[in-house]
Amino acid sequence: MNPIIVSHVNKTFRTKTQDIKALQNVSFEVEQGEIFGLLGPNGAGKSTLINIMLNLLTPTDGSVLILGEKPGPRVLSRINVVAGGSEFHWALTPRDILSFYARIYQVTNFKERIAQLASLLKIHHLLDRKFSWLSTGERLRVAFAKAMLNRPKLLLMDEPTLGLDPGIAKDVRAEIQRLNRDTGMTILLTSHYMHEVEQLCNRIAFISKGKIVDIGEVKEVKLKHFGTYEITVTLDKKPKASWVSAHALRVEENKIKATLKDEESLSTLLAMIHESGYRINDIAIKKPTLEDYFIKVLHEQ
Ligand SMILES: Nc1ncnc2c1ncn2[C@@H]1O[C@H](COP(=O)(O)OP(=O)(O)O)[C@@H](O)[C@H]1O
Ligand SMILES: [Mg+2]
């Protein structure tokens, strides 16, 4: 059974003046061991969904199964969460914070476990400083250590790199990838930093105004909206006109331009050039990025 199964979830927040439909008929599954990205603009419903998984909110209707169980105390001991901008009591030290949570999670040999995590996340030197003295990046590493205490099978991450400088955000991404690779932990990540999602996630769901607009592999969803990408190959000499027209290519001086659908047509094209005795001096590929996708899909809404 997949670690996350969301079926027909609706969540409506009723306020005095209006009903806010934060989630509307949302269904998807996250598979074992994958890093799954939940994308969407601010207010799309991403945090609402994560909070339902954590049993902090209950859906208006529909159901959620986490590791085969309804969200609740039993499953909370087997999962964990990291949210960007995590706060702990300002006067406590990371050692106090981690010891406190280790007790909540009933971690045996907790001193050893904290030492292990401190070295994993490079926070040894921070363990006895006050939390309020730590920088944003250091605080996040403490939040990460807290999230790893109970060796979760599933990690939920809500905008983990929010507000981090690019260098630290890069370290955090590397950490996420390493934890996923080394421990096989399943990760659900929300983010609106597209390059981050592009780098980390294999599959994504795009959510807008509480509804899933697209779901699938990053490559697939991009292809669905763009279909093609452009390649320019610079050869050592001007290609023969007959050869160019036979393969329906566009040519400019010693450059060949083509519109491709997939990687297979790229290798076919390159093999063809090579077999015809041309040397390739340069290749430029213009592929739509996930950011191009995000903006296009938002405009279409
Ligand atoms: N407790 C709440 N009461 C009323 N409205 C809420 C509450 N929490 C979230 N919302 C609204 O639900 C929508 C989705 O919010 P959220 O899930 O936080 O979006 P995201 O995390 O994708 O930015 C927003 O319109 C937000 O204002
Ligand atoms: Mg949010």
Instruction: Give the integer Cα–Cα distance in Å for 213 and 215.
Output: 7
- Single pTM value for the model: 0.84
What pLDDT band is residue 171 in, cutting at 50, 70 and 90?
Answer: confident
**Which token pair is 232?**
């320019």
Look at residue 9 in the predicted model and tell me its pLDDT. 98
What pLDDT band is residue 4 in, cutting at 50, 70 and 90?
Answer: very high
243 alpha carbon to ligand 1 midpoint, in Å?
Answer: 58
Q: Are 57 and 51 in contact (CB under 8 A)?
A: yes
Look at residue 78 in the predicted model and tell me its pLDDT. 93
Look at residue 195 in the predicted model and tell me its pLDDT. 87
163 alpha carbon to ligand 1 midpoint, in Å?
Answer: 20
What pLDDT band is residue 86 in, cutting at 50, 70 and 90?
Answer: confident
**Which token pair is 33?**
């061991």
Q: Which atom of ligand 1 is nearest to the CA of 46?
A: 22
Q: Given ligand 1 and candidates 16, 39, 48, 157, which is best to mutate, with the most ligand atoms within 8 Å of its CB?
A: 48
Q: Are 236 and 254 in contact (CB under 8 A)?
A: yes
84 alpha carbon to ligand 2 midpoint, in Å?
Answer: 9
What pLDDT band is residue 37 in, cutting at 50, 70 and 90?
Answer: very high
Among the listed ranges 10-19, 27-36, 133-142, which one has the minimum average pLDDT value? 133-142
Q: Whose CA is nearest to atom 27 of ligand 1?
A: 43
**Mean confidence (pLDDT) of the chain:** 91
Q: Whose CA is nearest to atom 25 of ligand 1?
A: 43
Taking each helix axis as running N to C, give the angle between helix 94-104 and helix 110-120, from 0 to 180 degrees, rounded to the nearest 10: 130
Look at residue 84 in the predicted model and tell me its pLDDT. 77
Look at residue 265 in the predicted model and tell me its pLDDT. 84
Look at residue 66 in the predicted model and tell me its pLDDT. 98
Does residue 54 register a pLDDT over 90? yes
Look at residue 56 in the predicted model and tell me its pLDDT. 95
Q: Are 5 and 64 in contact (CB under 8 A)?
A: yes
Q: Which residues line ligand 1 (CB under 6 A)?
A: 13, 15, 20, 22, 40, 42-48
50 alpha carbon to ligand 2 midpoint, in Å?
Answer: 9
What is the Cβ-side half-sphere exposure of residue 92, based on CA atoms within 13 angstroms?
Answer: 13
Look at residue 235 in the predicted model and tell me its pLDDT. 94
Q: Which atom of ligand 1 is nearest to the CA of 159?
A: 21
Look at residue 22 in the predicted model and tell me its pLDDT. 97
Does residue 291 register a pLDDT over 80? yes
45 alpha carbon to ligand 1 midpoint, in Å?
Answer: 6
| pLDDT tens sequence across 142-170 | 998 999 999 999 999 998 888 777 887 88
| pLDDT tens sequence across 202-250 | 999 999 999 999 999 998 888 888 878 889 999 999 988 877 777 778 8
Does residue 18 register a pLDDT over 80? yes
Q: Which atom of ligand 1 is nearest to the CA of 44?
A: 22
| pLDDT tens sequence across 118-141 | 988 889 999 999 999 998 888 988
Which residues are bridge partners to 61 per DSSP? 10
Look at residue 127 in the predicted model and tell me its pLDDT. 96
Q: Whose CA is nearest to atom 16 of ligand 1?
A: 45
Look at residue 248 in the predicted model and tell me its pLDDT. 74
Report which bound ligand comes closest to the CA of 26: 1
Look at residue 21 in the predicted model and tell me its pLDDT. 97
Q: Given ligand 1 and candidates 21, 47, 190, 301, which is best to mutate, with the most ligand atoms within 8 Å of its CB?
A: 47
Q: Whose CA is nearest to atom 26 of ligand 1?
A: 43
What pLDDT band is residue 260 in, cutting at 50, 70 and 90?
Answer: confident
Domain annotation for the chain: domains and CATH numbers: 4-223 (3.40.50.300), 227-300 (3.30.70)
C-beta neighbour count of 220 within 10 angstroms:
12
Three-class DSSP category at 14: strand
Q: Given ligand 1 and candidates 9, 13, 52, which is best to mutate, with the most ligand atoms within 8 Å of its CB?
A: 13
Average pLDDT of span 93-111: 94
Average pLDDT of span 277-281: 93
In percent, the amount of the chain with pLDDT more than 90 equals 59
**Which token pair is 131?**
């939390």
Degrees to nearest 5, angle at CA 171 with 170 and 175: 120
Which amino acid, one-letter code, is at 31? E
H helix runs in the chain, sequence order: 46-53, 73-76, 94-104, 110-120, 136-148, 166-183, 194-200, 218-226, 241-246, 263-275, 290-300
